[in-house]
Structures are given as C-alpha cells and as structure tokens.
Structure 1
Amino acid sequence: MSAHPRDEASPVTAFGPDFPFAFDDWIAHPAGLADLPAAAHGTEVAVIGAGIAGMVAAYELMKLGLKPVIYEAGRMGGRLRSEPFEGGSGLIAELGGMRFPRSSTSFYHYLDTLGLKTRPFPNPLNPATPSTLIDLEGRQIYVEQGGELPPLLREISEAWYDALEDGADFTSLQRAIRRRDVATLKEIWNRLVPLWDERTFYDFVATSRSFSRHSFRHREVFGQVGFGTGGWDSDFPNSMLEILRVACTNLDDNQHLVEGGVEQLPRGLWTLAPERLVHWPAGTTLARLHGGATRGAVTRISRTAPDEIGITDRWGDSRRYKAVLVTCQSWLLTTHLHCDESLFSHRLWMALDRTRYMQSSKTFVMVDRPFWHDRDPVTGRHTMSMTLTDRITRGTYLFDNGPDKPGVICLSYSWMSDALKVLPLPVEQRVQLMLDALKRVYPDLDIGRHIIGSPITVSWESDPHFLGAFKGALPGHYRYNHRMYTHFMQGEMPPQERGIFLAGDGISWTPAWAEGAVQTALNAVWGIAHHLGGNSPAGNPGPGEAMPRIGPIALGD
C-alpha cells in the first residue's frame, strides 16, 4: 500500500495491476532500498545493457555499495535513443521512446532527480497539437485544438469506453488504482486475467455490445485512429490483457516528451553522483567506477563455479561475478550470445524464446521553420496537421521549436507490416515515399522545399542489438510473462539457476513503456541485494517481501 493517503482525486499511476507494489514510494524512501553486509561492499555485479533498465539498476546498486560493471554492445541509452540532426542546433529525432505518460511515476522519479524538463507531446486530438487531420479512404476529418469531435469519432470514442466498462469493470479498476486499494484491485484484475488472456484485442472490440451496435466501419476507423497515441490496429492480434494494462494505468494518456531528448536520462545517470552513498566516497559516479566507458559487447555467459557466473566480452576478456543482470532483449540470449542453457529452467527458456517482438519504423526530417502554423487562405485550415492516415506514413508528427526556428517532422511512424514495407529502403527512398504519400493528403503543399539537413530513420527489427522494437504479448502468453517477471524471486530455485537476473520492458507486464523497464530493474536490484546477503530496511520492505502477498495470479498449466 502507498505511504500516502489516496482518494478519488488522486491521479491514476502505473500501480499494478498485476503486481500492485508502490515502486515510486519505495525508491523515494529515506531508508534506502537495502542494507548489505560490509563484506559485500565493493562486490562487482555485471550489468548487460546500458538502456534505461541497466542504467537504473546500476545506479541503485552503486548507491547500495556494490560495483556495477556495465557491458554495452552499441550505444548507451538502448531504445531511448535521441539522434541529433547534423547542424541542427540541438534538434533531435527520438528513434525509440519519445512520449512518456505522467502515470509513469517511477520513470519520472529519475527524470526529476536529474532535473530534466518535459512538455506535452503533440499527439492526435491533443490540446498540445494545433490541429489533427485524419485521412482515411481519401476522406478527411479535420479537428483543431480544443475542437469538438465529429459524430463518427465521438461514437467510436464512446463505444471504446463503454466496451472497457462492460468488459473490464473499468471505473472500479481505475478507482482502485487511484486509491491504491490493493485488495479491490487484486480482486478485479485476478478475475479479468483468465477471462482475457487468451483472447485478442480485436476480439474484445468486435464482440463488445457497444461496438456491435455500430458498423464495421467504426471498428476499422478505431483501428486506424484510436484514441490517445493514434491507431490501434497493429495491436489487434495482441492479448487483450496487454491493452487493458495500458488503458487502466493511463499509459496512453497525458504523455510528455523530454526537452533536449530522453537519451539524457540514461546518460545523466552515468555521470550523476548520488547524495546518499554507501561504501563509496562522495562524488562517486558510474562513469568514475568504469574509468569513463562501459565494457564492450558480451559474447558468452557461463557458469564458472557454483556461486559465480562468467562473462566474456567481444575482445575475449573473461571475468567472474557473484551476480549478473541481463537487460538485453531475450532473443539475443539464443541468437547472439553463447548462454549456458543450465542458467535458466526449460520453462523460462520457453518464455524467453516465445517472446514476440513487434517491428517499428520511423523517418524524420528537419525543416526550416514550423510552416504548419500557416493558414490556407481558402479553407482557413492549418497548411499541415498532425496526420493519421491509412497510407504508408500512418502517423506524421510535428515538433515545433519556436517561430521561425527549424522544426522536426516525423514523416512516418509505423508498425508491423507497414514497417516491413520500408525495411529494404535506404533513408532517401523512405523520405521520398513518405513525401509522395503526404502529397496525396496535402496536394497544394510542397513539404520538400522546407527540408534542410540530412534525414534520419530507424528500423528496430534490423538492428542486430535489438531484433525488434518491443514485445507484443499474444493470447496465451500470460504464463510466460509470469515466469519472466517473477524470476527475481530466486529463493526456491536450484543453485545452478541463481545469481542471474532479468530486467527490461520485455520482462515487464507493460512492454514498450519505460516505466516497465524501470520497475523490473528495481525488482532486480532487490533480487541482487538479497542474493548477496542483503536485507530490506524494516521501514521500507521491497517487492520481494510483497510478492507472496500481492504477486501476480498464477494460472495453472
């Protein structure tokens, strides 16, 4: 239960629903996360991956008096990758995570610790977005900031929230989250898990009473447009549980971008000297403990002794550790790393291997000014809007950095089959393809004449260090997720499987959200501390103490 009283006016946060533990309260508690015996101080712990999960875990382990040794195959930040435009005076393209819901309170704890500023993200139909244009089957719907939704979109919005109410007791679910009423939340969610684990998102929508009253067109437009971040149809094959988690914790609402780029967060943790440190002298940072750079890519993970795990890097250097944290995407354990099979149970290997990663592509350009604020003299509309369409661009986002200053356009943000369509194309061809598509939406606008500098693109599925953007749980995957998420509880495991821990958004219940990566990193910190003989402070019990009482419901095999 939260340390702070909550009521109906309290905000919805990413509190559960599978594991309703107050991570935000736990990390802010003055007693700290764990107390380690003096003999453990200075012990090296390997952290594989310098994304947000790896950096949060390393930062917290350092505060406890341990010595994290971070291995990174590519670039610090993982999928929090802010790519600067050459000559762009600080303008960036957010190639991975770019919009962060305010309900992600543990993630924002670290943003606030570093003093990073945010502002509302220009999502479709959002007050922060000057206008939104929806282009479907050649027909257009235009909505200005604060404007009223047209009848079709209003009907779809009402049908969606009615479906959530009928199929998931949505008001009661969110009320329990606001109040941090664990008993009620567990009662509702434990009832929903077996009901919706093996059914798809599309099944939920198509069989709901509210959508059944409308035409197929309503479901089709909902898939193309959605509400919050945009279209939902790339998620239609996923388990409905995954969508319910996003909806009930407001992960798809009130999203912000990080000014200057979110990559500042993992890089900031690298150089941040904590105010409260055990064992290490004041001013110690992760950068200082590493001599200024992480170690390179890991090629082998092996059991070298009953209580040691060996890590070999790309240059052949081998080191032994009492504990290892793996934050890379799970497919890398079977494709890019030689990992001893005995380190994980066969049931856990099944879960790791059955993880399904979704494809994603983005293409960005820098432009000379935010010309989209100009008005068309005939229609009175903005010359360009945040655009949702059934064309190959799918979602086009506009980033304003001030009048008469260069801006950024994400020409295309697409998923799954739409992302695969552009996979073989170099960046110049991608840009031209997107410009051609947008020309059909805005026939009188020459976007190309505003482009300056070089474009930037990404396809996460072709990146050898990721092989996909993030996990998308299919129907029936709840049991796999349960095995991965609870793996940090190692007290009942055979000795040969202890000492190696997992973290990252793919291990969490909320893939694609940085909050899930942070929460699983904190679970791993608890697990590593206890593996090395530590204990939680009496006044600040951790997730391991809470797990037997409020852990995720287990479904039988």
Structure 2
Amino acid sequence: MSPSSPPPASDLQVDFPFDYAAHVGDGRRMGRLPEDAQGARIAVIGAGGSGLAAAYELLRAGCRPVVYEAERSPDGPGGRRLGGRMYSRRLRDADSAVVELGCLRFPTSARLVRQYGQTFGVRLEPFRDNYAAPTTPLTVLDVDGRQYRAREIEDLHGLHDGFRAAHSRWQQALARIGLFQIQRAVAARDLTAVRRHWRGILLRFELWPFYRFLRDPDGVGLSHDQARLLGTAGVGPAVWDSFFDLSTVEILRLLLCTEGSGLLYAPEGIGRLAEGFWSHRTTDARGRTCSVEESNEGTLRPAVRALDVEPDAARGVMVHSEDGRSERFAAAVFTPQLRLLETGVEVRSTSARIPALGPRLLRAVRRLRYWQSSKTALVVEHPFWEDTSMDGVTLTDRLPRAAYTIDYGPVRGPDGRRGVLDLSFTWAQDAMKVAPSTLEERVDLFVRDLADIHPEVADRLRTHARAAEAVTVSWENEKHFRGLSRWSWPGDHPYQRDVFAHFMKDFTGAPAVPGEPPNALYLAGDDTSWSPGWLNHALASGLNAAWGVLRQLGAHPDPGNPGPGDLWNDPRFTPLTTR
C-alpha cells in the first residue's frame, strides 16, 4: 500500500488490537483443556452473536455449552429465538424478502463475521448504503425541504457549497488527528504505532462530546449549520446529529472500522449466521464431530431468573431458569444487555463477605448508557421504486431520517414477495418521537414524508403501502434489550475499560478490575466491546469470555496461538486508562 493510497478500514479494535479472526481461523482452537476438564458443562446465557460464538468455540475446545435464551419464537429451537439482534424476519415462507430488525449491515473490515459466514455457508453481498455507487443507484439528501441527488458523496460538493466546505474540513481533520495513520498502522500490523497514535487521540478527545469536535477549531472547525448539515448527510454510518452528545472517541472508533470500507448484508438474512453457530457440525479437541445444537439436545433452555455465584471458581455457578430448574455449571457466560443485571436477572453470591460482582464493576454496569433505536419496514410484492428517485437511500432531517430500498431477488414460492422498503431507521430522540405510535401510525407518518421527498413515485408509494405488510420495532421497548446498544458519553472510558476487562479476572496475578472477585461468572456481549453496535465486536467479546472460561479450567494455548488474555500485559495490548 503506497503512502498516498486510501487506508483500509481497521479490522482490529484499537483499544485492544487482538486479531480474533486469526486466533480461531484455519481450524485453530482457543486452547487445550486438561483431560479432567474435558466435557465441562458451561452455561451460556443469551443466544445472540456473543453467546453463540462463545458456545461454538467452547465446544471446539472440548467443553459442553448449554445455552439459555429469553426471547420466544414458535419456529426456534425449544420455542426460543436464536440470534439476539441478528433478528431476521421472513414474513412468508414464499418470500425472498427478509426484514432485518437488528443487524442491518456490517463493514467489509469485519473479518471475524466474514470468516464465520464462510464456514457456515452464509452468502454476503454489498449493501445498498448511502453514496455506495455503483451498488446504490442513488442517494437523495433531503435537508431544509430541498433535495440533492448523489451517487457518491463528492457529488454533493457541486450541489451544495456549504457541504463542500464541511466535508473537506471533516476529511482534513481526520487526517490531521492521525485517524488514517492508525488505519495504515493496523493494516501493517505495526501495533506499537497503533498504540502511540491512539493514546494521543484518547487522551486528547475522550472528554469531548462529538458536537464539540465538529465545532471546535482544534477539531473540524465547522459552523453550527455546517455541523448540522454534515450530520444529516450521514458521513460514516453513525455520524448523525442524533449522536452529537456522544464521546468523540466513540465516533472515532466507529469511523476506524468503516472509513475506507464497504458494507455487506446477508441476502438470506443475518439470522442465518446464528443458525450456523447453532447447527454447524465441527470437531472438538478430540476429533469428535459435534454441534452446539447436539450439545443442547436440539433445544434452547428458557430465560434465566437468577445466578448463584460461588466465590471459589472451582465450585462454579448455579443457574436458575424460569421453568423452575436449577443446575450447577463449571462456569457461566452472561451475554445479554448488562442493564438486565439490574432489571431481569438476579446475581447473588453464596458468600456474605465476597460479592458476585465487585463495587467498581457494578458502578460501571449501572452507568452504561443505551440508545433508543427504531425501524419500520414494508414488505412489498416487487421493487416498485426502480428507476425512480427512491431507488437507493434517502437521508433526511424529517421524521424518517434514513430509508433504504432492497430487492431480495427471485421469490421462493407462489405469492412470494421480494422487496423491502425500510421506511425509517432512527436513533435517540428521533426514535423517541414515534415510540408511542402504533405500527399503522408510524407507516402513515413515514409515507407522508417520503411521498413529499419523492413526488414522482408518491402515488405508487401510497398504493403499495396500503397493500404491503409492515413490521416495526422500538428496541428500547423490548423487555430483554431495553435499547439497541450501549454508547459512550464523554468521561465513560473508565467504565468501558472495566466491563471489557471482566473476562481477565485475576489471571495475571492481580484483578484486571480492582476489587473484582475471581469467580466463574464471565460478562460478554456487545456492551463489553470497545465499539458497540457492530456484530464483529460482539462476536469477539464472546471469544474473550470463552478464553476466560478455558483459562479457569486449566487450558493452555496452542504453540504460536496465544489468546486475548495471554497478551493482556503486552504493552501493545493492555487497555489504556484515563483515570
């Protein structure tokens, strides 16, 4: 890669740049268990990406994972739903169309997702994202009642002088603070340089809200109107004005894995990845063929209501589920939203003196912040929007905020449908505007605004909306989620560091989180990752927990393949602190 070529998106989490894809790729296992630990039963709570990845790799290492799930589904194993936020809905068996209510897309830099997808035979294709020519025929930016049509983001430069200046300053600022240098260092696997550049960014900007970064002369230096315009235009998948309150560092982490990257989706539904983790037959450390499904006798266990955690890790964890069953496991991996530790699952210590979770970690859990997110979609017979201004992506400062059109190709049977129109995909305050609205009210509101933005297709839109089947979700209202994902505000880095570090316990001779007891409970899930909202990082968090479990059981890494915890004290990896 020449110094002048655009840097690729980062495939590592810069706060802990461990290569998870390489660690478990090409048949490599996370560790080798001693003979007396073979077949150890491990409770995995939550059948989302993190839990399923942990269960799959624990199985390959020789454990027997037992998976619990609170979400119900008549079609799922044991009447439970696989996937968590990998929530794909095919409304009719004959449809090729799939509604993605959770994981809509992911960057091509997500090597771990792509690697598992290839293993499980999950087809991936370029996603119709904003300004993604030639995949996306058109992106329409609607702001202040005016529309600007673009195929690539630079097309807006000639259409809106204010955008030209704002976007140019944005790119210059990212280069000036060293974001592109980090991406190049990651691509070269120069982790010393990654750490040096990231330390400077973290210490400089961790206390800055994103809005300040956009406005401050030491950041991008935009006017208020320019910052608002840049936010509405959707530069980067998360750089919306909905996120102005977030930590600048949170936004920069997102950009590191998306700048210079395309976006992918699964035409058969991202839920296929969850099914792959569940049903794919692999081999364990002894060469025996098995699957997570077989390990669980084809059934997901029901919701967990309480955990009794022994202070001595060797005595494991007692899991109490909603069906009245109580079972002891060698360890437990907890992957749902961490706020459920306050609202849905009681975690108890069997010791009056030693808590199940230390006070510092509990402080972090209680102060994590979750973002509202809403999505509403129509499933239609065919892509009626072809060759119109709606054929692609609409970005707007009106109620819908973002709309996407997707053609899923030939239907699977008679009366099947192939088109999905995501009428709206919103975050934070924009999601709250429609949170109390019914499905019918949401559809009417979004169709009203989109019809005004796209008058050439307005009549067809209204006609198809009346005939279509609609689906919606507000993740903050979902009992077992209470928000789509955690995001960090300025000053949250210490909390983020502590929840990430929980899997390390005291394996290096001292607790990675001061005051944290060395028991057999391991926290994982998207919440614990450095950059939430991305499936790749959720999967990696499951591998962290799996490493902790294996280390507790006495496993050792294969030669030349150290795990994430084996490198914890390496100065290139040890998470930085800002306390």
Contact 2:247 2:488 in 1 (8 A): yes
Measured against aligned partners, the alpha-carbon deviations of 1:214-255 in whole angstroms (never above 9, x if no partner) come to 543211111111223365111111111111111123268311
How many Å apart are 1:529 and its aligned residue? Answer: 0.4
Q: Distance in 2 between matches of 1:467 and 1:205?
A: 30
Q: 1:389 aligns with which of 393, 396, 400?
A: 396
Contact 2:238 2:251 in 1 (8 A): no
Contact 1:12 1:103 in 2 (8 A): yes
Contact 1:363 1:457 in 2 (8 A): yes
Q: Secondary structure at the match of 1:256?
A: strand
Q: What residue is the counterpart of 2:74 in the other structure? A: none
Q: Distance in 1 between matches of 2:575 and 2:368?
A: 20
Q: Secondary structure at the match of 1:365?
A: strand
Contact 2:137 2:391 in 1 (8 A): no
Cα 1:278/1:246, change in 2 over 3 Å:
same
Cα 1:372/1:319, change in 2 over 3 Å:
same
Q: Which amino acid letter does the alignment assign opposite residue 497 of structure 2?
A: H
Moved more, 129-138 or 46-55: 129-138
Measured against aligned partners, the alpha-carbon deviations of 1:160-183 in whole angstroms (never above 9, x if no partner) come to 1111122x2123212111101011
Q: What residue is the counterpart of 2:414 in the other structure? A: none
Q: 2:563 aligns with which of 537, 542, 554?
A: 542
Q: Distance in 2 between matches of 1:90 and 1:197?
A: 44
Measured against aligned partners, the alpha-carbon deviations of 1:85-143 in whole angstroms (never above 9, x if no partner) come to 23651311100011110111112111111121111111111111111111111111112
Contact 2:96 2:418 in 1 (8 A): no
Q: What residue is the counterpart of 2:186 in the other structure? A: 177
Contact 1:399 1:408 in 2 (8 A): yes
Cα 1:254/1:119, change in 2 over 3 Å:
same
Q: Distance in 2 between matches of 1:383 and 1:469?
A: 27
Q: Secondary structure at the match of 2:156?
A: coil
Q: What residue is the counterpart of 1:66 in the other structure? A: 63
Measured against aligned partners, the alpha-carbon deviations of 1:241-292 in whole angstroms (never above 9, x if no partner) come to 1111111232683111111100110111100011x3224732x111111111
Q: Distance in 2 between matches of 1:119 and 1:37?
A: 42
Cα 1:518/1:384, change in 2 over 3 Å:
closer
1:40 aligns with 2:46: no
Q: What residue is the counterpart of 1:235 in the other structure? A: 243
Q: Distance in 2 between matches of 1:93 and 1:18?
A: 33
Q: Distance in 2 between matches of 1:552 and 1:422?
A: 42
Contact 2:250 2:488 in 1 (8 A): yes
How many Å apart are 1:453 and its aligned residue? Answer: 3.9
Cα 1:389/1:11, change in 2 over 3 Å:
closer
Q: What residue is the counterpart of 1:477 in the other structure? A: 492
Q: Secondary structure at the match of 1:36?
A: coil
Q: 1:165 aligns with which of 169, 175, 187?
A: 175
Q: Which amino acid letter does the alignment assign opposite residue 351 of structure 1?
A: A
1:100 aligns with 2:106: yes
Q: Which amino acid letter does the alignment assign opposite residue 483 of structure 1?
A: D
Q: Which amino acid letter does the alignment assign opposite residue 12 of structure 2?
A: F
Q: What residue is the counterpart of 1:316 in the other structure? A: 324
Contact 1:176 1:184 in 2 (8 A): yes
Q: What residue is the counterpart of 2:362 in the other structure? A: 349
Moved more, 244-253 or 500-509: 244-253
How many Å apart are 1:555 and its aligned residue? Answer: 2.5
Identity fraction in percent? 32
Moved more, 495-504 or 467-476: 495-504
Q: Which residues of 2 match residues 518-557 of structure 1 at below 5 A? A: 518-549=539-570, 550-555=572-577, 557=579
Contact 2:365 2:499 in 1 (8 A): yes
Q: Distance in 1 between matches of 2:93 and 2:296?
A: 31
Contact 1:129 1:145 in 2 (8 A): no
Measured against aligned partners, the alpha-carbon deviations of 1:298-321 in whole angstroms (never above 9, x if no partner) come to 000112573221110001111111
Contact 2:43 2:65 in 1 (8 A): yes
TM-score, with normalisation over the residues of structure 1? 0.92
Q: Which residues of 2 match residues 81-480 of structure 1 at below 5 A? A: 81-86=87-92, 89-127=95-133, 128-144=135-151, 148-151=155-158, 152=160, 153-166=163-176, 168-208=177-217, 211-212=220-221, 215-229=223-237, 232-250=240-258, 253-274=261-282, 276-279=283-286, 281-282=288-289, 284-304=290-310, 306=312, 307-340=315-348, 342-375=355-388, 382=389, 385-402=392-409, 406-444=418-456, 445-446=458-459, 447-451=461-465, 452-480=467-495
Q: What residue is the counterpart of 2:504 in the other structure? A: 489
Root-mean-square deviation (CA, aligned residues, Å) is 2.2
Q: What residue is the counterpart of 1:379 in the other structure? A: none
Counting matched residue pairs gives: 542
Cα 1:556/1:96, change in 2 over 3 Å:
closer
Cα 1:19/1:368, change in 2 over 3 Å:
same
Q: Distance in 1 between matches of 2:380 and 2:154?
A: 27
Moved more, 397-406 or 303-312: 397-406
Moved more, 521-530 or 299-308: 299-308
Q: Distance in 1 between matches of 2:483 and 2:378?
A: 23
Contact 1:234 1:415 in 2 (8 A): yes
Contact 1:14 1:251 in 2 (8 A): no
In structure 1, stretches of 5+ residues that fail to align are 1-5, 376-381
How many Å apart are 1:460 and its aligned residue? Answer: 0.4
Measured against aligned partners, the alpha-carbon deviations of 1:442-479 in whole angstroms (never above 9, x if no partner) come to 23412021244420100000000000000110111111
Cα 1:87/1:293, change in 2 over 3 Å:
closer
Q: Secondary structure at the match of 2:544?
A: helix
In structure 2, stretches of 5+ residues that fail to align are 72-80, 350-354, 412-416
Cα 1:171/1:229, change in 2 over 3 Å:
closer
Structure 1 segments, 4+ long, off by >6 Å, are 6-10
Q: Secondary structure at the match of 2:374?
A: strand
How many Å apart are 1:194 and its aligned residue? Answer: 1.6
Q: Secondary structure at the match of 2:129?
A: coil
Contact 2:96 2:410 in 1 (8 A): no
Q: Distance in 2 between matches of 1:42 and 1:553?
A: 33
